[in-house]
């Protein structure tokens, strides 16, 4: 994201600098060296053009190396390690090189953090122990002591504990079961259909986690890590019994919901994490019920694997666990930065045309990136129309189409969500249940209005001539005052 940030910063400085140069200030520190500033902007623009690939800009959203530690065990469980690009020697050395002096690991590198984070440290320790690093070596001892000092394995996020349960290192019975009835979109429980309540990014993960918890699925993998508990369990966690009977109707419904989330490039809902969880659930389903959806399940696992591989071993910074593809958002941001920095709009027309053709959906909203076509993004669409407004009347029709969709996306409180209206935090029963289940500590469960999304959209609308007296803008301002 550095290139987009520098471009936007450069454009801002350019406007500030032009003002500062015109002031009769006696303080020389207030005067901007315009030649140096223009040199930085020009260099940033050249850097941006050099990063263009196949007509788009795409800067992966990294999760951190610990997701590659997880991936090693997921590949083993799925029987796909030999097919993967995963290089154990390279990755092991990467972890050895990135451990902090206090024994911990960061999620991703951040200059301002003086220490690491618990969950990455747990998973990276587990991986290194599993590939043969002596747990009593100085580096592993430091990591273990750091984990204990920060609450032990018991203090990890619920999602991390669930993943450890999948591999036989945490007790499934410590998690509340998730009722299968909430995945039924017809019949008596239609009003409780969870897909209509939780955020777009939650549902693809929730379907898989529900299946894994329902059967307490265990793929016994990796070295034992009971030494990471502050209070170690007294016995090993029990393995589930496999059943080869026909799946019950509610399980089959859940699996169908999961399969419906497959996207054309192989992901389940657009995310690598949800894809891997779904693959683990479907592998278990395939083993339990080999005659149900056999070909679809097999194909889904293979395509999911290919999707994850393309993200985790991307050509920018591999082995950092990329979450998804966000190329349309990145292309909007870089285009905006270039235009603000004075680039000739005609040079960007082919990129904009391609983005509209590929990324904008029938309702006028634009997808965040590949495999998000099913869920256009209000935030991205707000800044899309801002960029399009810089081309005069060339994209007037598209702007109006996108504005109509944005008008339909405003929440009752006057703010705007990312993906879906009316998925606010006022679903008291679901909020209580998610808090009780401990899932809320791993992600935002709902899709409430957001001040930054709202102001992005206001900025886009303002660029197209929307005024303060617009009912939509008035409601947005009231929302911002309240928040």
Instruction: Transcribe 57-125 into DSSP letters.
Output: -----B--THHHHHHHHHHHHHT-GGGS---HHHHHHHHHHH--TTS---SS--TT-SS--HHHHHHHH
Distance CA 429, CA 191 (A): 12
Question: Is residue 248's pLDDT more than 70?
Answer: yes
**pLDDT for position 243:** 62
pLDDT for 425 equals: 74
d(CA 21, CA 35): 12
Of the pLDDT bands very low, low, confident and very high (cuts 50, 70, 90), residue 286 is: very high
347 CA to centre of own chain: 31
Task: Answer for the pair 65, 316: CB distance below 8 angstroms, yes or no.
Answer: no
Nearest Cα residue to 160 out of 239, 275, 277, 246: 277
**Band of residue 21 on the pLDDT scale cut at 50, 70, 90:** very low
Listed residue (369, 195, 211, 368) closest to 279, CA to CA: 211
Give alpha helix (H) positions in 200-326.
203-214, 249-259, 272-288, 294-312
Dig out the tokens for 97 from the structure.
């090189």
Does the structure show a pLDDT above 90 at 236?
no
Is residue 8 over pLDDT 60? Answer: no
Three-class DSSP labels, 77-89: HHCCHHHCCCCHH
Taking the mean position of all CA atoms in its chain, how far away is CA 105? Answer: 20
Q: What token pair was written down for 273?
A: 């994490």
Write down the pLDDT at residue 31.
86
pTM of the model: 0.91
Return d(Cα 47, Cα 41) in angstroms, integer: 10
Q: What is the pLDDT of residues 90-135, one digit of tens each?
A: 999 999 999 999 999 999 888 888 899 999 999 999 999 999 999 9
- pLDDT tens-place string over residues 428-448: 676 767 776 666 666 788 999
Tell me the catalytic residues. Answer: 379
Segment 43-101, tens digit of pLDDT:
999 999 999 999 999 999 999 999 999 999 999 999 999 999 999 999 999 999 999 99
Reply yes or no on whether the pLDDT at 14 is more than 50. no
The pLDDT value recorded for residue 382 is: 98
CA dist list (Å): 143 to 14, 102, 328, 377: 47, 7, 39, 40
Mean pLDDT over each residue of the chain, to the nearest integer: 91
Residue 19's pLDDT band, with cuts at 50, 70 and 90, is very low
With 90 as the cut, is the pLDDT of residue 7 above it?
A: no
Q: Check residue 436 and give its pLDDT.
A: 65
């Amino acid at each position: 994201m550095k290139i987009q940030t520098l471009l936007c910063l450069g454009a801002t400085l350019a406007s500030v600098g032009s003002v500062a140069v015109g002031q009769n200030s006696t303080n020389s520190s207030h005067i901007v060296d315009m030649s140096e500033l223009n040199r930085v902007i020009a260099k940033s623009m050249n850097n941006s053009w050099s990063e263009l690939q196949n007509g788009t800009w795409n800067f992966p959203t990294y999760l951190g190396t610990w997701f590659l530690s997880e991936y090693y065990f997921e590949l083993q469980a799925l029987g796909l390690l030999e097919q993967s690009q995963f290089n154990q020697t390279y990755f092991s050395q990467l972890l050895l090189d990135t451990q902090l002096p206090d024994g911990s690991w960061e999620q991703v590198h951040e200059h301002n953090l003086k220490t690491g984070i618990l969950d990455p440290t747990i998973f990276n320790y587990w991986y290194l122990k599993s590939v043969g690093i002596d747990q009593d070596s100085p580096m592993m001892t430091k990591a273990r002591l750091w984990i204990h000092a920060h609450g032990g394995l018991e203090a990890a996020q619920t999602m991390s504990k669930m993943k450890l349960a999948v591999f036989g290192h945490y007790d499934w019975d410590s998690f509340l079961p998730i009722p299968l009835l909430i995945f039924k979109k017809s019949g008596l429980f239609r009003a409780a259909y969870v897909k209509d309540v939780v955020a777009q990014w939650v549902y693809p993960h929730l379907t898989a986690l529900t299946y894994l918890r329902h059967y307490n699925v265990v793929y016994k993998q990796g070295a034992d890590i009971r030494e990471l508990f502050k209070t170690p369990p007294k016995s090993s966690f029990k393995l589930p019994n496999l059943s080869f009977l026909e799946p019950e109707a509610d399980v089959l419904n859940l699996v169908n919901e999961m399969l419906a989330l497959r996207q054309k490039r192989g992901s389940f809902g657009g995310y690598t994490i949800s894809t891997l969880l779904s693959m683990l659930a479907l592998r278990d389903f395939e083993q339990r019920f080999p005659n149900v959806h056999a070909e679809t399940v097999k194909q889904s696992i293979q395509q999911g694997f290919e999707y994850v591989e393309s993200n985790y071993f991307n050509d920018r910074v591999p082995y950092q666990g990329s979450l998804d593809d966000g190329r349309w958002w990145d292309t909007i941001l870089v285009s905006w930065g270039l235009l603000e920095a004075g680039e000739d709009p005609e040079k960007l027309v082919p990129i904009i045309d391609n983005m509209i053709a590929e990324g904008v959906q029938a309702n006028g909203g634009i997808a965040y990136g590949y495999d998000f076509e099913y869920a256009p993004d209000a935030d991205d669409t707000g800044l899309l129309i801002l960029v399009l407004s810089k081309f005069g009347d060339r994209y007037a029709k598209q702007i109006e189409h996108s504005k109509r969709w944005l008008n339909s996306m405003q929440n009752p409180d006057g703010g705007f969500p990312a993906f879906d209206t009316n998925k606010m935090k006022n679903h008291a029963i679901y909020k209580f249940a998610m808090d009780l289940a401990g899932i809320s500590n791993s992600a935002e469960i709902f899709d409430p209005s957001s001040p930054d999304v709202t102001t992005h959209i206001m900025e886009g609308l303002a660029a197209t001539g929307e005024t303060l007296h617009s009912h939509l803008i008035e409601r947005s301002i009231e929302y911002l005052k309240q928040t």
